Chain A
Amino acid sequence: MNTSVLQAQSVTKTYGPTVALAGVSLQIAASEAVAVMGASGSGKTTLLHCLAGIIAPDAGAITLHAPQGALRIDTLGPEGRARVRRQHYGFVFQQGLLLPELTAVENVALPLLLDGVERRAAEAEATHWLHTLGLAGMEGRRPGQLSGGQQQRVAVARAQVGAPGVVFADEPTGALDSRTSAQVMQALLQTTTGAGRSLVVVTHDEQVAAVCHRVLHLSDGRIVREQHNTPRPTQVAS
Chain B
Amino acid sequence: MRTASHLTLLLVRRGSDTSRASLALPVVAFAVVTALALTVLGGARFFFTIEGDLAAFYQSLAALAVTLLVIPLLTLCGSAARLSARRRDQHLSTLRLLGAPTHTLTWMTVLESTLLAAAGTVVGVLGHLALAPLLGLLVFHGERLGAGNILLGAAGTVLCAVALLALAAISSLLGLRGVTVSPLGVRTRQDVPRMSLVRLVAIGAALGAGLFAGQALQIDQGVVATVAGMVFTFGLTMAVLNLVGPWLLGVVARVQVRRATGRHAAERLLAARTVLDSPKAAWRQVSGVALTSFIAVFAGVGLAVTDAMAGSGASSQEDALLLADLRTGIALTLLISFVTVAASVAVNQAADILDRRELFASLERMGMPLLGMDRARRRAVLSPLRLVSLGSALAAATLIFPLAGIALLTNPLALVTTALLLAAGIALVWLTLLATSPLLARVARES
Asked whether A100 lies within 8 Å of B269 as measured between CB atoms, the reply is no
If A86-B367, A118-B261 touch, whether A99 touches B270 (CB-CB below 8 Å) is yes
Which residues of chain A have C-beta atoms less than 8 A from B269's C-beta?
Answer: 102, 106, 113, 119
Q: Does B2 contact A (CB under 8 A)?
A: no
Do residues B367 and A85 form an inter-chain contact, with CB atoms below 8 A? yes
**In the complex, chain B residues whose CB is within 8 Å of the CB of A52:** 365
Chain A's nearest CB lies how many Å from the CB of B340? 26
Assess whether B266 is interfacial by the CB under 8 Å rule: yes
**Shortest beta-carbon distance, B107 to chain A, in Å?**
33
Closest to A55 in B: B365
* Contact assessment for A102 and B367 in the assembled complex, using a CB-CB cutoff below 8 Å: no
Q: Which residues of A contact B358 (CB under 8 A)?
A: 95, 97
Number of interface residues of A (CB under 8 A): 30
Query: In the complex, what residues of B have CB within 8 A of residue A93's CB?
Result: 362, 365
Nearest neighbor of A53 in chain B, beta-carbon distance:
B367
Contact between B190 and A111, CB atoms less than 8 A apart: no
Q: Determine how close the nearest CB of chain A comes to the CB of B93; give it in whole angstroms.
A: 17
Question: A116 to chain B: closest CB distance in Å?
Answer: 7
- B365 pairs with A91, CB closer than 8 A: yes
With A106-B269, A144-B190 as given contacts, are A82 and B276 in contact (CB-CB < 8 Å)? no
- Say whether A97 contacts B359, CB under 8 Å: yes
Minimal beta-carbon separation of A227 from chain B (angstroms):
28
| Distance of A52 Cα from B273 Cα, bound (Å) | 31
The residue in A100, A113, A118, A120 that gathers the most chain B C-beta atoms within 10 A of its C-beta is A113
Which listed residue (A83, A97, A119) contacts B260, Cβ 8 A? A119
Assess whether A101 is in contact with B362, with CB atoms less than 8 Å apart.
no
User: Which residues of chain A (134-170) have a CB below 8 Å from chain B?
Assistant: 144
Q: Which residues of B contact A111 (CB under 8 A)?
A: 366, 368
Cβ < 8 Å to A, chain B residues 357-391: 358-359, 362-369, 372
Q: A102-B273, A106-B273 are in contact. Are A113 and B266 (CB under 8 A)?
A: yes
Known: A114-B372, A119-B260, A144-B190. A97 touches B362 (CB 8 A): yes
Q: CB within 8 Å of B: which of A113-135?
A: 113-114, 116, 118-120, 122
Interchain CA distance A81-B263 in the complex, whole Å: 24
B265 part of interface (Cβ distance < 8 Å): yes
A23 to chain B, nearest CB (A): 24
* Inter-chain contacts of B274 with A (CB < 8 A): 101
Complex: A87 Cα to B364 Cα, angstroms: 13
Expressed in whole angstroms, the minimum distance between the Cβ of A53 and any Cβ of chain B is: 8
Chain A residues whose CB sits within 8 angstroms of the CB of B366 once the complex forms: 85-86, 89-91, 111
Residue of A nearest to B278 (CB): A101
Q: Is the CB of B362 within 8 A of A86?
A: no
Q: Nearest chain A CB to B147's CB is how many angstroms away?
A: 47
Contacts of A101 in B (CB 8 A): 270, 273-274, 276-277
> For residue A54, which residue of chain B has the nearest CB?
B365
CA distance A82 to B365 in the complex (A): 8
Q: How far is the CA of A132 from the CA of B365 in the complex (A)?
A: 25
Given contacts A106-B273, A114-B266, contact A120 B261 (CB under 8 A): yes
**B190, B359, B366: most-surrounded residue (chain A CB, <10 A):** B366
Take A113-B266, A119-B260 as given contacts and tell me if A100 and B368 are in contact as well, using a CB distance cutoff of 8 Å: no
Residue of A nearest to B190 (CB): A144
Shortest CB-to-CB span from B370 to chain A, Å, is 9
- Whether B260 pairs with A82 at a CB distance below 8 angstroms is no
Tell me the total A-B contact number using a CB cutoff of 8 A. 69
Is B261 in contact with A100, judged by CB distance below 8 angstroms?
no
Provide the residues of chain B in CB contact with A81, threshold 8 Å. Answer: 367
How long is the Cα–Cα vector from A217 to B363 in the complex, in angstroms?
A: 28
* Cβ contacts under 8 Å, B368 to chain A: 86, 110-111, 114
Q: How far is the CA of A62 from the CA of B369 in the complex (A)?
A: 23
Kindly provide the distance from the CB of B249 to the nearest chain A CB, expressed in whole angstroms.
14
Q: Is A208 among interface residues, defined by CB-CB distance under 8 A?
A: no
Q: How far is the CA of A93 from the CA of B364 in the complex (A)?
A: 12
Contact check, A100 vs B190: say whether CB atoms are below 8 A apart.
Answer: yes
> Across the interface, do B367 and A82 meet the contact criterion of CB distance under 8 Å?
yes
Least CB distance from B74 to A in Å reads 27
Give Cα distance in the complex from A113 to B257, angstroms: 14
Contact A85 B365 (CB under 8 A): yes
Query: For the complex, is A184 an interface residue (Cβ under 8 Å from B)?
Result: no
In the bound assembly, the distance between CA atoms of A119 and B259 in angstroms comes to 10
Please indicate which of the listed interface residues A81, A84, A85, A120 has the most CB atoms of chain B within 10 Å of its own CB: A85
A129 to B188, CA, bound (A): 28
Q: How far is the CA of A91 from the CA of B358 in the complex (A)?
A: 14
A90, A110, A120: which has the most chain B beta carbons within 10 Å? Answer: A110
- Give B297 Cβ to nearest chain A Cβ, in Å: 33
Q: Mark A59-93, 1 if CB is under 8 A from B, else 0.
A: 00000000000000000000001111111011101
Chain A nearest CB from B257 CB (Å) reads 9
- Find chain A residues with CB under 8 A from B265 CB: 113, 118-119, 122
Tell me how far the C-beta of B358 lies from the nearest C-beta in chain A, rounded to whole angstroms: 6
Docked-complex contact A99 and B365, CB < 8 angstroms:
no
CB distance from A191 to the nearest CB of B (A): 16
B65 → chain A closest CB, angstroms: 37
Q: Once the chains are docked, how many angstroms separate the CA of A85 from the CA of B368?
A: 8
* Alpha-carbon separation in the docked complex, A95 to B238 (Å): 41
Give bound CA distance, A93 to B103, whole Å.
38
Across-interface contacts of B372 in A (CB, < 8 A): 114
CA distance A105 to B269 in the complex (A): 12
List the 9 closest A-B pairs by CB distance, nearest first.
A85-B367, A86-B367, A113-B266, A101-B277, A97-B362, A82-B367, A101-B273, A119-B261, A119-B265
Q: List 16 A-B contacts (CB under 8 A).
A: A82-B367, A82-B369, A85-B367, A86-B367, A86-B369, A89-B367, A91-B362, A91-B366, A97-B358, A97-B359, A101-B276, A110-B368, A114-B369, A118-B261, A118-B265, A119-B265
Chain A residues near B (Cβ < 8 Å): 52, 54, 81-87, 89-91, 93, 95, 97, 99-102, 106, 110-111, 113-114, 116, 118-120, 122, 144
Q: B residues engaging A (CB < 8 A)?
A: 189-190, 260-263, 265-266, 269-270, 273-274, 276-277, 358-359, 362-369, 372
